[in-house]
Chains A and B, each alone.
Chain A
Amino acid sequence: MPPTPPAPQPSPSLRSSRSSRLPGATGVAGASGAEPAARAAGLTKVYGTGDHQVTALDEVTVEFARGRFTAVMGPSGSGKSTLMHCMAGLDPVTSGSVRIGGVELASLNERALTRLRRDKVGFVFQGFNLLPTLTAAENIVLPLRLAGRKPEAAWLAAVTGTVGLADRLGHRPAELSGGQQQRVAVARALLSRPEIVFADEPTGNLDSRTGAEVLGFLRDSVRELGQTVVMVTHDPVAAAHADRVVFLADGRVVDELHEPAADAVLARMLRFESRGGGHR
């Protein structure tokens, strides 16, 4: 790769520039023309066989640029979750190509896929999915410990500080509110400085105020830490926090918006749903 894409493992200089939280430091990842954080080309996913075949994704081609916050929207059954699962290496694709940080997922075996998820992908789930037996701090460092690495103290402090959890680190998930749990999950996703963070309906189980808080943290991580975030949602208000919204319907990319406002997103959504793309 001639243009020398950013190393998958963050370099020390990058690390220090990120932890300094200077807005200008995001320039490296934000540069256009570089290899995107993730890219799908001709991605097709078919479930079932014979008469029961369902095409969840139909020749989807989409790129997620570095340092950007992208929302994937669409009505139920549009394939947005499937897109996320396939791009995160959780679900094998039927045909087409998925690349994360320049690595083609199809070429990876189970073990290498696991390692890729561990090192290059962060997850935020709708149901928080924290390990109930571990404290908040242990949950945050879990992916790093799975990789056998030690978290860097300054970076850990920066991340936990950003999500505002510094004083709740010793608590178990059961002792935290929903919003706090999701903040722990966000911190967990950010700590390993992944290539890309996939968030699946991160505000689905939260009330609007705490939901907005979590979305704020995701956006800050993009702005201040240079993180790449892809969020699947069906909530136009949530999507409005993103830099860009990709609309999916019937397994195809049908539209996209840049720097959207909530009402614009809503208008677009309504259009797709009234077109009969949605099932509700």
Chain B
Amino acid sequence: MLRTALRNVLAHKARLLLTVLAVCLGVAFVSGTLVFTDSSAAAYRAAASKNYADTAVTVLPEDPPPGAAADRSAPALDDALARRLAAVPGVTAVRPSADGSATLNAADGTPLRAGQAWANLAAAYVPGKDAKDPRYPLAEGRAPRNGTELAVDSGTATAGGFRIGDLVTLATDGPVMTKRLVGIVTTQDPRVTAGGTLALFDRATAQKLFASPGHYTGIDLAAAPGTDPSALADRVATVLPAGRAEAVTGAAQAAQQTVLVDTLTRGYAKLPLIFAGVSLFIGSFLIVNTFTMLVTRRTREIALLRAIGAGRRQVVNSVLLEALLVGLAASAAGFVLGLGIAAVLPDVLSTAADPLPRGPLVIGPRPVLAALGVGVGVTVLAAWLPSRRAAKVAPLEALRAAEQPPSATRTRIRGAAGLVLLVLGAGLLVSLTGVKDASVANLQRAMAGCGILVLALLVLAPLLAAPVIRLTGRLTDRFGITGRLAGQNALRDPRRTAATASALMISTALVAGLAVLGNSTGQALDRQAAAGLGADYVISTRTPTTGVDPAAVRAVAGTPGVRTATAVADSTLVAGGHVRQISGVDAATVNDVITLDFVSGSATGLGPGRIAVSRTLAREQGLRTGSRLAARMGSDQALRQYTVVGVYQDNPVAHDALGARTEVQRHAYAPGSVQRVLVRTVSGTASPVTEARLRTAVGRNPLLTVQDRQALVHEAAGTLGNLLTLMYGLFALGAVIAALGIANTLAMSVSERTREIGVLRALGMDRSGVRRMVRLEAVTVAAFGTLLGLAGGLFGAWEVGALANGAIAQYTMVPPWGTLLLLCLVSPAIGALAAALPAHRAAALSPLKAVAES
């Protein structure tokens, strides 16, 4: 049996090669992604363990038990404790630290890699016995000595364009500071190598900024070689003030840090895995198609085997065994290709602002097993259906010449099943028409609807092939008899045509749907942001826990060209278990800077205990103007009753609710602070000059952003950039697999129609005519897939759009005509390209093939 299967595989090398390629692509993405994640995790881990290599135990202030928040005023980590720790047996060195975060401005005045606090590290440079800090080896210059100096790591210096002697602008949590750069150090801290920044201050300055004068945020202890860290931690614990400090081993810290970095970078694996899934899904159609064609071709042979006594089981096994061999080959090839992908992925996914750590490729058992499992599994599963068909071959068919067309009952069953799926999928999507929000349940319903719709298209495709290709035939008929023959050939086996077109159909549907949704959402967000914002500039803090200092607000108001500067305090409003955002505004000036569209009530009634809510919040909580809402605002522990004085259309600038600024500020996390300043200019427009003045007014504080309308809109649409990458990536992948499928089917068709092509050649069709005929057939198949995919994608986007319509008031479906047109043009081109080789082979056939009677 194995020998038969092996011989069959070798006999159809070329045919199976294309199948192998398709499976191989999917496997490559899977194994490549896994190798990549393993490798980058290993790189981080290596960096983390190196960093903690000489730290046996760290002493940290103990987190106060919940509820006892007030008792933090007694810092325990000071120099006295450090001296006591040095006396603990086994401790060879004591290194106190004062860590926090600091955001820097690059030399050109723009914030440097500003983002989450974890990425912008700050620490104290604590000289040891040799006046050097072993954690931060100096590469250049000297250590900071007083509050006017700082040092950074070499990566930060390069990214920021800093040189020794430069003045660097930075902020830790409040107003902006300026310090002179005196030293550049190197560091192995994975948070920094993963794309963060590091600023080093002298000990006193760091203590003042991040702890309190004379105190530390942690004390690292080095131990003599051979010391057990946990035993040491136990010994250290005995000298610590109870309840105020704790001892943690370096290993535990390294592990914790790795977990953090892992979670931060886990998202990188998502995109390649999506590609893997899609390519395997589409590729499985190619496998089904190839094996179906092979089985059809071998019908006689199989019937003969059955006639001489082979059981059904044996026939099935021989086909499956063949699939197993193909799957093994594909897995092996895919794994090798995957290593290549893993090697280039860091380059692809890294950006200048967001570099990934480098390290050698780590090949664990996981990717190997995954490659084998996925490659062999998908191939064998996909070959199972054709193998069933092979088993159904009756011994009598060895004697029957022509292949049987599918019976009318089967066609009817297919039609009925397809229609049921279509109605089900469309029904699910149509049921979303009335929904008001994009809740998880609704999204799942939409996904299920789209999935069922795709299935329906796949089931119905063979039945749709005839009418659709007759339609496209009107175009191909213009190419004369070659076009007519091409169209007729594509119609000959609608099931095969449909299966071949399915790869292009699915990728076109995906891309068309995503393109429409992306375009429509982008434009809606544009309109929404533009419609809601009355101000010309928005100055805001990067994190809600920090505030714009009052001096900066005054400076902004006094800036030339500024008509009004309205401060907005942002906080939270917890109502009915949901956390919502509330903006604290001044009732008198709010309409000046936020364009509010009130459904009922107005902003004039805003005051303590009186709020306005967005339409979505009103719907969620069942509120109307005049009704009361029990909620907790910001840091306020008490649940209070608030009167609703107005309901407005959702507005990204106003957030979910509006309150009086004085009240919101009272309950803010940083009491008395404001988080946004909405600026209207005298001219009513934005200009680079005004923007520069505003930046200067806030002291170029890297924690604050100054954005004009356009920048705000751009930020809102920022996530769409990823969607675009995904979209084009998916389409490219789908196109490659579709091309493989088309080439495969056509090669099979050409070899089946050797005699027919010979007849055409004998009757006077020249070689270019034969080539054109094969190419036109490919284009017909591709066009069929594209048309079906476009229809499905647009319908899906239209129905899912209803969901978006509930979430974004200004949503209307705006098809990106350019992209869609491009899709329509590219797909047939792919078909023509894929046909190149089969067309060449067909044209090389001798006309003698027709007359040589077999």
B851 touches A142 (CB 8 A): no
A114 touches B764 (CB 8 A): yes
B763 touches A90 (CB 8 A): no
B484 touches A138 (CB 8 A): yes
Our pick among B488, B762, B765 for the contact of A123 (Cβ within 8 Å) is: B762
Identify which of residues 433-490 in chain B touch chain A, using a CB-to-CB cut-off of 8 Å: 480-481, 484-485, 488-489
Q: Which of B96-104, B513-521, B632-640, B753-761 contacts A (4 or more CB under 8 A)?
A: B753-761
Kindly provide the distance from the CB of B479 to the nearest chain A CB, expressed in whole angstroms.
11
Kindly provide the distance from the CB of B466 to the nearest chain A CB, expressed in whole angstroms.
13
Identify which of residues 161-187 in chain A touch chain B, using a CB-to-CB cut-off of 8 Å: none
Residues of A within 8 A of B759 (CB): 125, 129, 131
Bitwise interface map of B from 741 to 771 toward A, beta carbon under 8 Å scored 1, else 0: 0000000000000011001111111110100
B491 touches A133 (CB 8 A): yes
B848 touches A143 (CB 8 A): no
Query: Considering the chains assembled together, what is the distance between the CA atoms of A85 and B846 in angstroms?
Result: 12
Bitwise interface map of B from 715 to 747 toward A, beta carbon under 8 Å scored 1, else 0: 000000000000000000000000000000000
Query: Considering the chains assembled together, what is the distance between the CA atoms of A216 and B603 in angstroms?
Result: 101
Residues of B within 8 A of A91 (CB): 848
Whether, in the assembled complex, B492 has its beta carbon less than 8 Å from a beta carbon of chain A, the answer is yes
Query: Which residue of chain A has its CB nearest to the CB of B482?
Result: A146
Whether, in the assembled complex, A117 has its beta carbon less than 8 Å from a beta carbon of chain B, the answer is yes
Query: Which residue of chain A has its CB nearest to the CB of B486?
Result: A133
Whether, in the assembled complex, B71 has its beta carbon less than 8 Å from a beta carbon of chain A, the answer is no
Bitwise interface map of A from 56 to 92 toward B, beta carbon under 8 Å scored 1, else 0: 0000000000000000000000000100010010110
Query: Which residue of chain B has its CB nearest to the CB of A189?
Result: B763
Query: Which residue of chain A has its CB nearest to the CB of B481?
Result: A145
A90 touches B851 (CB 8 A): yes
Query: Considering the chains assembled together, what is the distance between the CA atoms of A119 and B766 in angstroms?
Result: 12
A146 touches B765 (CB 8 A): yes
Whether, in the assembled complex, B850 has its beta carbon less than 8 Å from a beta carbon of chain A, the answer is yes
Residues of A within 8 A of B489 (CB): 133
Are A115 and B764 also in contact (CB < 8 A) when A131-B759, A138-B484, A146-B481 are? yes
Kindly provide the distance from the CB of A26 to the nearest chain B CB, expressed in whole angstroms.
25
Query: Which residue of chain A has its CB nearest to the CB of B848?
Result: A90
A114 touches B766 (CB 8 A): yes
Counted as pairs of residues, one from A and one from B, with CB atoms less than 8 Å apart, the total is 78
Kindly provide the distance from the CB of A64 to the nearest chain B CB, expressed in whole angstroms.
18
Are A143 and B764 also in contact (CB < 8 A) when A131-B756, A134-B488 are? yes
Residues of A within 8 A of B485 (CB): 131, 133-134
B764 touches A90 (CB 8 A): no
Whether, in the assembled complex, B847 has its beta carbon less than 8 Å from a beta carbon of chain A, the answer is yes
Query: Which of A142, A146, A204 lies at the interface centre, i.e. has the most chain B CB atoms within 10 A of its CB?
Result: A146
Are A142 and B488 also in contact (CB < 8 A) when A85-B851, A90-B848, A129-B850 are? no
Query: Considering the chains assembled together, what is the distance between the CA atoms of A200 and B848 in angstroms?
Result: 12
Whether, in the assembled complex, A118 has its beta carbon less than 8 Å from a beta carbon of chain B, the answer is yes
Residues of B within 8 A of A50 (CB): none
Query: Considering the chains assembled together, what is the distance between the CA atoms of A117 and B489 in angstroms?
Result: 24
Bitwise interface map of A from 123 to 158 toward B, beta carbon under 8 Å scored 1, else 0: 101110101111000100011011110000000000
Residues of A within 8 A of B756 (CB): 129, 131-132
Residues of A within 8 A of B850 (CB): 125, 129
Query: Which of A110, A111, A131, A148 lies at the interface centre, i.e. has the most chain B CB atoms within 10 A of its CB?
Result: A131
Interface size for A (C-beta < 8 A) is: 32
B481 touches A142 (CB 8 A): yes
Kindly provide the distance from the CB of B599 to the nearest chain A CB, expressed in whole angstroms.
64
Are A133 and B492 also in contact (CB < 8 A) when A85-B848, A142-B481 are? yes
A115 touches B763 (CB 8 A): no
Query: Considering the chains assembled together, what is the distance between the CA atoms of A127 and B759 in angstroms?
Result: 11
Query: Which residue of chain B has its CB nearest to the CB of A192?
Result: B764
Bitwise interface map of B from 480 to 513 toward A, beta carbon under 8 Å scored 1, else 0: 1100110011011000000000000000000000
Residues of A within 8 A of B765 (CB): 114, 118, 146
Residues of B within 8 A of A146 (CB): 481, 760, 763-765, 769
Interface size for B (C-beta < 8 A) is: 26
Whether, in the assembled complex, B130 has its beta carbon less than 8 Å from a beta carbon of chain A, the answer is no
Query: Which of B485, B489, B492 lies at the interface centre, i.e. has the most chain A CB atoms within 10 A of its CB?
Result: B485
Whether, in the assembled complex, B108 has its beta carbon less than 8 Å from a beta carbon of chain A, the answer is no
Query: Considering the chains assembled together, what is the distance between the CA atoms of A85 and B488 in angstroms?
Result: 29
Identify which of residues 747-799 in chain B touch chain A, using a CB-to-CB cut-off of 8 Å: 755-756, 759-767, 769
Residues of A within 8 A of B481 (CB): 142, 145-146
Residues of B within 8 A of A200 (CB): 851, 853
Query: Considering the chains assembled together, what is the distance between the CA atoms of A90 and B846 in angstroms?
Result: 8
Kindly provide the distance from the CB of B454 to the nearest chain A CB, expressed in whole angstroms.
30
Query: Considering the chains assembled together, what is the distance between the CA atoms of A118 and B765 in angstroms?
Result: 7
B764 touches A125 (CB 8 A): no
Are A114 and B480 also in contact (CB < 8 A) when A125-B851, A133-B488, A134-B488 are? no
Kindly provide the distance from the CB of A14 to the nearest chain B CB, expressed in whole angstroms.
21
Our pick among B491, B766, B848 for the contact of A111 (Cβ within 8 Å) is: B766
A127 touches B480 (CB 8 A): no
Query: Considering the chains assembled together, what is the distance between the CA atoms of A118 and B850 in angstroms?
Result: 15
Are A117 and B484 also in contact (CB < 8 A) when A90-B847, A127-B853, A133-B492 are? no
Query: Which residue of chain B has its CB nearest to the CB of A232?
Result: B851
Query: Which residue of chain B has its CB nearest to the CB of A112?
Result: B766
Query: Considering the chains assembled together, what is the distance between the CA atoms of A171 and B767 in angstroms?
Result: 28
Kindly provide the distance from the CB of A48 to the nearest chain B CB, expressed in whole angstroms.
15
Residues of B within 8 A of A147 (CB): 764
B755 touches A129 (CB 8 A): yes
Residues of B within 8 A of A129 (CB): 755-756, 759, 850-851
Query: Considering the chains assembled together, what is the distance between the CA atoms of A88 and B848 in angstroms?
Result: 10
Are A115 and B766 also in contact (CB < 8 A) when A133-B489, A133-B492 are? yes
Query: Considering the chains assembled together, what is the distance between the CA atoms of A118 and B481 in angstroms?
Result: 14
Are A119 and B762 also in contact (CB < 8 A) when A125-B851, A126-B853, A133-B492 are? no
Query: Considering the chains assembled together, what is the distance between the CA atoms of A192 and B446 in angstroms?
Result: 61
Kindly provide the distance from the CB of B828 to the nearest chain A CB, expressed in whole angstroms.
21
Kindly provide the distance from the CB of A72 to the nearest chain B CB, expressed in whole angstroms.
14
Kindly provide the distance from the CB of A119 to the nearest chain B CB, expressed in whole angstroms.
7
Query: Which residue of chain B has its CB nearest to the CB of A116?
Result: B764
Query: Which residue of chain A has its CB nearest to the CB of B766?
Result: A114
Query: Which residue of chain B has its CB nearest to the CB of A91?
Result: B848
Bitwise interface map of A from 207 to 226 toward B, beta carbon under 8 Å scored 1, else 0: 00000000000000000000
Residues of A within 8 A of B853 (CB): 126-127, 200-201, 204
Are A117 and B488 also in contact (CB < 8 A) when A90-B847, A131-B756, A145-B481 are? no
Query: Which residue of chain A has its CB nearest to the CB of B854?
Result: A127
Query: Considering the chains assembled together, what is the distance between the CA atoms of A146 and B483 in angstroms?
Result: 11
Query: Considering the chains assembled together, what is the distance between the CA atoms of A200 and B762 in angstroms?
Result: 13
Query: Considering the chains assembled together, what is the distance between the CA atoms of A114 and B848 in angstroms?
Result: 12
Kindly provide the distance from the CB of A111 to the nearest chain B CB, expressed in whole angstroms.
6
Residues of B within 8 A of A134 (CB): 484-485, 488
Query: Which of B755, B762, B763 lies at the interface centre, i.e. has the most chain A CB atoms within 10 A of its CB?
Result: B763
Query: Considering the chains assembled together, what is the distance between the CA atoms of A132 and B481 in angstroms?
Result: 14
Query: Considering the chains assembled together, what is the distance between the CA atoms of A119 and B489 in angstroms?
Result: 25
Bitwise interface map of B from 807 to 837 toward A, beta carbon under 8 Å scored 1, else 0: 0000000000000000000000000000000
Kindly provide the distance from the CB of A80 to the nearest chain B CB, expressed in whole angstroms.
12
Query: Considering the chains assembled together, what is the distance between the CA atoms of A46 and B733 in angstroms?
Result: 51
State the A residues within 8 Å of B (CB). Answer: 81, 85, 88, 90-91, 110-111, 114-115, 117-119, 123, 125-127, 129, 131-134, 138, 142-143, 145-148, 188, 200-201, 204
Could you show 21 A-B contacts with beta carbons less than 8 Å apart?
A85-B851, A110-B767, A117-B763, A117-B764, A117-B847, A118-B763, A125-B759, A125-B851, A126-B853, A127-B755, A129-B755, A129-B756, A129-B759, A131-B759, A132-B492, A133-B491, A134-B484, A134-B488, A146-B760, A146-B764, A200-B853
Closest 5 pairs (CB-CB, A-B): A118-B764, A133-B488, A145-B481, A114-B766, A129-B759
State the B residues within 8 Å of A (CB). Answer: 480-481, 484-485, 488-489, 491-492, 755-756, 759-767, 769, 846-848, 850-851, 853
4 more CB-based (< 8 A) A-B contacts, given A114-B767, A125-B759, A133-B485:
A127-B853, A129-B756, A131-B756, A131-B760
